[in-house]
Structure 1
Amino acid sequence: MLREKYLTNWCMMVVILMVLAANATAQIYVDAAATGANDGSSWDDAYIDLQDALDVALAGDEIWVAASIYKPTKLEFADYPRSATFQLISGVALLGGFGGETILSGDIGISGDNSDNCYHVVTGSFTDVSAVIEGFTIEGGCADGPWDIDGIDPPERYDQGGGMFNFLGGPTVNHCIFQGNYALLHGGAVENRGANSSPKFNHCTFNTNSAVQYGGGMYNAPGSSTEFSNCVFNGNSAGLHGGGMNTNQGNTEVSNCEFNGNFAEQAGGGMVIDRSIAVLTNCKFHDNTAQNLNGGGLVVWECDPELTDCKFHGNFALYGGGFAAGYLCDAKLSNCEFNGNTAMLGGGVIAYMSNPELIDCKINDNTASVCGGGMNIFFSSSPILTGCKINDNSAPAGAGMFNDIGCNPELTDCEFNGNLAENEGGGMYNDGGAILTDCILQGNHSGDLGGGMANGSSSTVILEHCLLWGNTAVNATGEFAQISDNGFPVINNSCIQGWTGYFGGANNTGKKSEYIK
């Protein structure tokens, strides 16, 4: 009996040891300066070519790569030298940064001549989250090649994703820098494409990458599902839309990321979200530019993203310097800040043919050269604002907010303070309908009429339990400095400085002491 028990336990131990051995992580070493056996068994005997390590790696292995410059040598097509790429492997972790900067370079031809660089420096196609790349600088990819080479589906898309291309792949990318990569179409640094393309980027930086069309730093193609955490997009550019990132008909989660100094010739200097499901949390958009269209920091089209605790500062666009809620957009923005942005229309925010919801947002110190310094609402939009502060903005008309014909915003518990209009509507200008409840317009100024609020002749404005006080207008005094006498405002239970009863309504007063918020 004891002998049988002993044999059973011994067999179990053998099985456990075999399982542990099978799952043990092996390190494969790569060092371009190594002079040993070149078998990857140690730093002394490290492979000098990274591709040699990838060729022998098995699931569970880690490839440790010493500081140096490594260039891809394995061709996807024998007759195309520029098809060389480092293909990631599921279950294998490719780790750089040992001893200093580890560079994966696409400069495989004449040094400094991009015309013979590889199309994709790294490829993560057909991988899963267990394919890891960490601690590398990826540079010099030049995706200016053909859409397809062999005529077999899927096409190679050598015109997209200069730094990295992921087709139906979901690798994990940690602490990598993508810089100086280029694409003829989309995704100067990275393109993610296909229904199972679900990469995760953590603590990555994207610098000075460019694309002729979309997504200078990143292009998330239809069907992709991407996650970004603690990433930075600096100085990337796109010839059309999405200087930093463009997400098109995909799913994207972006948290604790920064978009700084990115440029788009048309829309979305920092980022474009187009017909996608997107959640952005604690992100910053600074000094981005959309040169000829909308959304200096961010533009959204035909979808309903959620933004929480995001900050937009110093961005520029023709329309919507900080944020543009575009066609059929019902975005929800909570506790976001728009400060120091500029535009022709809507220095901080613009809504056109959309119904975004803004909750507890701050829209301060923005400038528009035509109208809507803080926010511009036009083309049949009906945004909802709750608990927002719209202060110290400037524009020729509607310094705090400009509400165009056919638009019907609803504002509750909002404040307009210190806004300055050269012409009409220091706090707000209305050509459409607007409903304001429990709102305060105070200390605003206009160079013509309606220091607090100016209304066009066709406007239909409802004020319920609002305070208009301390506003000034060059060409109006008394209650008309607070609200102009155009249009058909309906005012009830409100306090308006200089109130005479001219506007009618019920339970209104000119005594501030009688107004209780």
Structure 2
Amino acid sequence: MKTTRRRRLHDSIAMLAMAGCVQFASASIIEVPGDASTIQAAVDAAQTGDEIHVAAGIWRETINLRGKAIVLLGAAGPQSTTLDGRGLEGSVLRCIEGEAAETRIEGFTITGGSGDVGAHGPEATVGGGLLVRSSSPTIVNCVFRENRASLHGGAVYCGDGAAATFSDCMFESNVAEKGGAVFNIRSSPSFDSCVFTGNLAGYGGGAIYNDRKCAADFTDCRFQANEAIYNGGAVYDYESRGTLTSCSFVRNAAAFKGGAIYIAYRSNPIMHDCVFVTQADDVAGRRGVQMASKDQTGACCVGGGCIIASKSACEDAGGEFSGRGTRCSIEEQTCSRRMKGDLNHDGTVDRTDMAVLMLIWR
């Protein structure tokens, strides 16, 4: 029965494609490459409620979801199903036609994207892996790896009222001027159980840059080894508000301020029970931050070792308090010794310290 239905579906696609149009009469599972030769052809043919199942492999194309309430599924998961934008123009994926939560992207590795041209000139690209404008898609179990944008959002750009939802996603080794992994502006995206690691910003927000009227929410997310050449190694907030709940910050670094988070102009984020593991993972900026954590203790570096204590007890003992919610960790070198050449105090001598040195010489 299933084989007969699929054969009819395949024959219909072939016949209608010759006529220049492809349509389905009812909700279906469209298999790529079985029923359509490209993912975009499957999207163009799909109707509300359809699921597009993409086979394992490397798919070199850019895809516009066309505002459709459909599911785009990497059937073998992100380890085996890759959307590769190398050598192609634009973002790998686009949700720019009013997609809602029913538009679901799941189970892909998205890589090699270079981004769409923004409003700042032909050389200024945004959203290397995914561009979301005036849309609210759902993205689940995806890996955004080694995407870049010359301006904003190496992996993802959310703007113009976007309210995308990301769950169980990884953002790794993405690069942009602002928001090495994600750039949010006038939007309210949410991130649940996501990992941000090894992302780089040439200015601020190694992982995340929240800009102007942005209210992004992060829950159970991990920020590790992200870097910014200026401020905000993991997160940079500018005229934004948002919430971070039960998030951890590990070995993030900024050349100047806010190895973990930098709070700039008119920003007031709220943090619930977040953990800042190393001394470099600090929170800095022009405004205070509302720390909703009930834990008043943290890592205290004293006498060449590390203990858990309150800020006042730590300072009374002549120690250096790492911040509320921080913990002693041998692996993360919570109280590591200052190294020669470690200009940004993150415990390592690397390219970020070279950037600081170059800025000092200017």
Q: Distance in 2 between matches of 1:261 and 1:162?
A: 20
Counterpart of 1:104, as a letter, is: L
Q: Could you tell me which of 194, 204, 221 is aligned with 2:169?
A: 204
1:370 corresponds in structure 2 to: none
1:147 and 2:118 matched: yes
1:299 corresponds in structure 2 to: 262
2:124·2:151 contact (CA, 8 Å) conserved in 1?
no
2:231 corresponds in structure 1 to: 267
Q: Relative to structure 1, is the Cα distance of residues 315 and 124 closer, same or farther in structure 2, using a 3 angstrom cutoff?
A: farther
1:254 and 2:218 matched: yes
1:102 and 2:81 matched: yes
Deviation at 1:417, TM superposition (A): 6.1
2:105 corresponds in structure 1 to: 133
Q: Relative to structure 1, is the Cα distance of residues 228 and 366 closer, same or farther in structure 2, using a 3 angstrom cutoff?
A: farther
Q: Could you tell me which of 14, 28, 31 is aligned with 2:30?
A: 28
1:389 and 2:310 matched: yes
Q: Could you tell me which of 299, 303, 307 is aligned with 1:364?
A: 299
Unaligned runs of 5+ in 1: 1-21, 32-44, 73-83, 108-115, 150-154, 336-358, 368-372, 375-387, 391-413, 428-517
Q: Relative to structure 1, is the Cα distance of residues 323 and 253 closer, same or farther in structure 2, using a 3 angstrom cutoff?
A: same
Deviation at 1:66, TM superposition (A): 1.0
Deviation at 1:156, TM superposition (A): 9.1
Q: Could you tell me which of 124, 128, 139 is aligned with 1:162?
A: 128
Q: Could you tell me which of 175, 190, 195 is aligned with 1:227?
A: 190
* Offset from partner CA, 1:58-113 (integer Å, 9 cap, x none): 111110111111122xxxxxxxxxxx544353311101133761111102xxxxxx
1:120 and 2:80 matched: no
Alignment of 1:312-461 (within 5 A): 312-314=276-278, 316=280, 321-324=281-284, 326-327=285-286, 329-335=287-293, 360-365=295-300, 389-390=310-311, 415-416=313-314, 419-420=317-318
Q: Distance in 2 between matches of 1:278 and 1:323?
A: 15
Deviation at 1:120, TM superposition (A): 0.4
Q: Secondary structure at the match of 1:117?
A: coil
2:205·2:233 contact (CA, 8 Å) conserved in 1?
yes
2:26·2:47 contact (CA, 8 Å) conserved in 1?
no
Q: Relative to structure 1, is the Cα distance of residues 25 and 156 closer, same or farther in structure 2, using a 3 angstrom cutoff?
A: farther
Counterpart of 1:52, as a letter, is: A
Q: Distance in 2 between matches of 1:315 and 1:363?
A: 11
How many residues align structurally? Answer: 290
1:66 corresponds in structure 2 to: 55
1:206·1:217 contact (CA, 8 Å) conserved in 2?
yes
2:140·2:169 contact (CA, 8 Å) conserved in 1?
yes
TM-score computed with the length of structure 1 as normaliser: 0.52
Counterpart of 2:76, as a letter, is: F
Q: Distance in 1 between matches of 2:283 and 2:93?
A: 33
Deviation at 1:274, TM superposition (A): 2.0
Counterpart of 1:120, as a letter, is: S
Counterpart of 1:203, as a letter, is: D
Q: Distance in 2 between matches of 1:260 and 1:59?
A: 39
Q: Distance in 2 between matches of 1:215 and 1:314?
A: 22
Query: What RMSD in Å do the two structures reach over aligned CA positions?
Result: 2.8
TM-score computed with the length of structure 2 as normaliser: 0.73
Deviation at 1:296, TM superposition (A): 0.4
Deviation at 1:299, TM superposition (A): 1.5
Q: Secondary structure at the match of 1:173?
A: strand
Q: Distance in 2 between matches of 1:55 and 1:140?
A: 23
Q: Distance in 2 between matches of 1:366 and 1:177?
A: 36
1:56 and 2:35 matched: no
Q: Distance in 2 between matches of 1:148 and 1:303?
A: 24
Q: Distance in 1 between matches of 2:296 and 2:261?
A: 16
1:236 corresponds in structure 2 to: 199
Q: Relative to structure 1, is the Cα distance of residues 361 and 273 closer, same or farther in structure 2, using a 3 angstrom cutoff?
A: farther
Deviation at 1:360, TM superposition (A): 3.3
2:85·2:91 contact (CA, 8 Å) conserved in 1?
yes
Q: Distance in 2 between matches of 1:315 and 1:274?
A: 23
Q: Distance in 2 between matches of 1:192 and 1:146?
A: 14
1:288·1:315 contact (CA, 8 Å) conserved in 2?
no
2:140 corresponds in structure 1 to: 174
Q: Relative to structure 1, is the Cα distance of residues 299 and 96 closer, same or farther in structure 2, using a 3 angstrom cutoff?
A: same
Q: Relative to structure 1, is the Cα distance of residues 158 and 29 closer, same or farther in structure 2, using a 3 angstrom cutoff?
A: farther
Select the structure with the greater relative contact order (CA < 8 A; seq sep ≥ 6).
Answer: 2
Q: Distance in 2 between matches of 1:255 and 1:177?
A: 18
Q: Distance in 2 between matches of 1:141 and 1:366?
A: 43
Q: Secondary structure at the match of 1:53?
A: helix
Q: Secondary structure at the match of 1:89?
A: coil
2:123·2:150 contact (CA, 8 Å) conserved in 1?
no
Deviation at 1:233, TM superposition (A): 0.3
Identity %: 30
Q: Relative to structure 1, is the Cα distance of residues 97 and 315 closer, same or farther in structure 2, using a 3 angstrom cutoff?
A: farther
Counterpart of 2:178, as a letter, is: Y
Q: Distance in 1 between matches of 2:100 and 2:63?
A: 18
Q: Secondary structure at the match of 2:96?
A: coil
Q: Relative to structure 1, is the Cα distance of residues 48 and 361 closer, same or farther in structure 2, using a 3 angstrom cutoff?
A: farther
Q: Relative to structure 1, is the Cα distance of residues 157 and 132 closer, same or farther in structure 2, using a 3 angstrom cutoff?
A: farther
Q: Over alpha carbons, which structure has the higher Rg?
A: 1
Counterpart of 1:101, as a letter, is: S
2:40·2:63 contact (CA, 8 Å) conserved in 1?
no
* Offset from partner CA, 1:314-334 (integer Å, 9 cap, x none): 252xxxx4211x21x242113
2:104·2:137 contact (CA, 8 Å) conserved in 1?
yes
Q: Distance in 2 between matches of 1:53 and 1:274?
A: 40
